[in-house]
Structure formats: structure tokens, C-alpha cells
């Protein structure tokens, strides 16, 4: 398990549940939490970031090595191919969108007054990984999809309820 | 999302004659204008709520203001089921919504229900997905 700051298992289990739902429903495939991820898992080639702003301020960041991004794109498109960069980036952005939207929908705090941004895609590590000002609750989780790692990070401005 | 959605629809064996893609609402409106100019009938519009440049709700409202593709069912897709724009879109005339992530069966059911012709025009064919 990898949690930068947050040790509240409710938050962590909620994020794990949202990520699992996305893979189970959209891809009919599992996605496992990587306990104590190796340093290699930190390799980042593509990142997508979505901001949630309004009553709730938060940031959802997904970071992928190229190999995992390729596997995810294969799975979403239902075939294997030499996808162009734009399509792979679209897939990563869409995954970020579904995770952020799924997480938002599970909050007890009135989330309808907060809006999601469109995904911001970047190559290599996201240039601005810093969450919005005041986001004191942070968590980062590494998962494995088809034995390849990727990371999902959430930063949230408290207080909100789950 | 466009290619992912098209792939899903083909995977469930929906017979897609032609799919038009648009990256945002502005491109979607342009595609509808072009279809109208070329007298190319459309069967269905699938539209994400969250798009850059022009979002799905604004696309819907502008499409109606310009009277583009009147009567063509429009299915709104969203990753954020709590977004009030989804309800606003339904109130403004969207024929249905589907939340992401969706199963193949779910998207197939939604699309097929909207494609079921009530009184099909002889020349109706093709699909659009702004």
C-alpha cells in the first residue's frame, strides 16, 4: 500500500473501489492494488489530471508508464494495435475522467455543485503535480493492470464527508 | 472517448454504416451542418457532457437553436452522474443518458432503444457521434 499522507482507510478503500469498478464494468477485467510498489512502478510516461472545483476542491491524477498505457488502450478498444499517441492519451484521459467522476459520485458532501474539468494530458510526469491550494488530504495508490503498474493520486481540500 | 465508444458499438455487433467523429461541441455542430448540406441523414448522436471548447449541454442547445438534425435522437454520456448539466440536457431534449463506465450490454441496449425506428424514413442511414 502506498499512501502519501492519508491513512484513513475509508478514503483509501473508496478510491480502490472506484478504480476496481471502472476496470470491472468497462473492461470486465480486474485491477489489483500493488502493495509496496517497486521503484520501477514510479516510471511515468503519460499523465492525466482532472480538477474538481466548487463546493469540493480536489485533484485526480493518473500516471502511466507507456507499457501500461498501451495495455489499457488495447483493452478499451478491444484489440491490439500500434496506437498513435493521441489515441493512447485519449484512453488515459478517459480513465482519469471515469475515476474522478466515480469518486465524486460517492461523496456524501453535495457534489453536484462541483464541476469536473476536462482531462489535462501531459507526457512524462505531470508538469504541475501540485494539487490546488489548500488540498491537505492526499493519497496515492499504485495498481496493476495485466501485471503493469499505474498510479492514481487524489488531493482533496477538507472538510468533506464520505 | 470517440474511438473507444465506436469500438464498443462495433464489438456488440451494431451495424454502423458510417460514424462521424467530432472532438468537441463546435466540431459536432460543424459535422451536423455538413451533414445537412450534403443531405446525409443521421440516425443517432452520442455526445459527452464534458468536452473542451464547447460542452455537451451547450452543443445540444446550439444544435436546437440552429435546428440541426431535428428529430435525431441524442444520447448524453457522462462520467459524472451528479453533474446537473446531465439533467439540464434531458430537460432540454436529450433522449437519454448513460454513465461511464458502462458495460457493453448497457451501451448496446441504450443505442438500440434509440435506433428503433418508429416511422423510418426510407433514406435514413448512418450514425453520428459528435
pTM value? Answer: 0.83
Cα(A161)–Cα(A116) distance, integer angstroms: 18
With a cut of 80, say whether residue A161 has pLDDT above it: no
Q: How many Å apart are CA A119 and CA A130, to the nearest integer?
A: 15
Q: Is residue B129 part of a domain?
A: no
What's the pLDDT at A128?
A: 67
Closest by CA position to B72, among listed B105, B121, B24, B10 = B121
What's the grid cell of residue B25?
461541441
* Complex ipTM more than 0.85, yes or no: no
Record: contact A116-B4, CB cut-off 8 A? no
Phi-psi region at A13: left, alpha or beta (left = phi > 0; alpha = psi -120 to 50): alpha
Q: Which residue has the cell 441523414?
A: B41
Query: What's the pLDDT band for B14 if we cut at 50, 70, 90?
Result: confident
Q: Could you state, in order of their start, the residue ranges of all structural domains in chain A?
A: 9-35+43-156
Residue A97 has pLDDT above 50, yes or no: yes
Q: Which residue has the higher pLDDT, B34 or A76?
A: B34
Mean pLDDT of A22-29: 91
Beta bridge partners of A153: A61, A140
What letter does residue A41 receive in the DSSP assignment? G
CA B86, B90, B94, B95 dihedral sign is positive
CA angle B66, A112, B9 (to 5 degrees): 60
Chain B residues near residue A77 by CB distance under 8 angstroms: 3-4, 7
Tens of pLDDT, residue by residue over B35-83, are: 999 998 999 999 999 899 999 999 999 999 999 999 999 999 999 888 8
CATH number at residue B38: 3.40.50.2300
The overall average pLDDT reported for chain B is 86
Q: By the 8 A CB rule, do A91 and B4 touch?
A: yes
Range of the domain at B12: 2-115
E strands within A58-130?
Answer: 58-64, 115-116, 120-123
Is it the case that residue B119 has pLDDT exceeding 60?
Answer: no
d(CA A59, CA A34): 22
Q: Of A24-33, A99-108, B117-126, give the lowest mean pLDDT range.
A: B117-126
DSSP A40: G
**Closest to A19 (Cα-Cα) out of A29, A10, A9, A8:** A29
Q: Count the domains in chain B.
A: 1
CB-CB: which of A22, A90, A118 is closest to B3? A90
Interface test with B, best of A23, A87, A116 (most B CBs within 10 A): A116
Q: Chain A neighbours among B 86-105 (CB < 8 Å)? A: 99-103
Which CATH number is A9-35+43-156 given? 3.40.1550.10
Q: How far apart are CA B42 and CA B46, in angstroms?
A: 11
Amino acid at each position: 500500500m502506498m499512501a502519501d499522507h492519508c491513512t484513513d482507510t475509508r478514503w483509501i478503500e473508496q478510491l480502490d473501489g472506484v478504480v476496481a469498478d471502472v476496470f470491472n464494468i468497462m473492461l470486465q477485467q480486474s485491477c489489483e492494488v500493488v502493495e509496496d510498489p517497486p521503484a520501477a512502478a514510479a516510471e511515468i510516461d503519460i499523465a492525466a489530471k482532472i480538477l474538481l472545483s466548487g463546493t469540493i476542491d480536489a485533484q485526480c491524477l493518473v500516471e502511466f508508464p507507456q507499457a501500461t498505457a498501451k495495455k489499457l488502450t488495447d483493452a478499451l478498444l478491444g484489440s491490439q494495435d500500434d496506437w498513435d499517441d493521441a489515441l493512447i492519451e485519449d484512453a488515459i484521459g478517459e480513465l482519469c475522467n471515469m475515476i474522478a467522476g466515480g469518486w465524486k459520485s460517492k461523496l456524501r458532501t453535495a457534489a453536484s455543485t462541483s464541476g469536473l474539468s476536462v482531462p489535462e494530458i501531459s507526457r512524462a510526469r505531470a508538469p504541475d503535480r501540485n494539487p490546488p491550494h489548500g488540498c491537505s488530504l492526499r493519497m496515492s495508490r499504485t495498481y496493476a493492470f495485466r501485471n503493469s503498474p499505474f498510479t492514481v493520486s487524489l488531493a482533496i481540500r477538507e472538510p468533506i464527508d464520505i | 472517448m470517440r474511438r473507444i465508444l465506436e469500438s464498443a458499438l462495433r464489438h456488440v455487433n451494431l451495424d454502423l454504416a458510417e460514424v462521424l467523429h467530432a472532438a468537441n461541441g463546435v466540431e459536432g455542430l460543424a459535422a451536423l451542418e455538413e451533414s445537412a448540406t450534403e443531405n446525409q441523414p443521421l440516425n443517432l448522436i452520442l455526445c459527452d457532457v464534458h468536452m473542451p471548447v464547447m460542452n455537451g449541454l451547450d452543443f445540444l442547445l446550439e444544435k436546437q437553436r440552429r435546428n440541426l438534425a431535428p428529430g435525431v435522437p441524442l444520447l448524453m454520456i457522462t462520467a459524472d452522474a451528479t453533474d446537473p448539466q446531465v439533467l439540464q440536457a434531458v430537460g432540454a431534449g436529450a433522449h437519454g443518458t448513460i454513465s461511464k463506465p458502462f458495460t457493453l450490454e448497457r451501451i448496446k441496449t441504450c443505442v438500440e432503444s434509440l435506433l428503433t425506428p418508429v416511422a423510418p424514413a426510407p433514406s435514413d442511414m448512418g450514425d453520428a457521434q459528435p
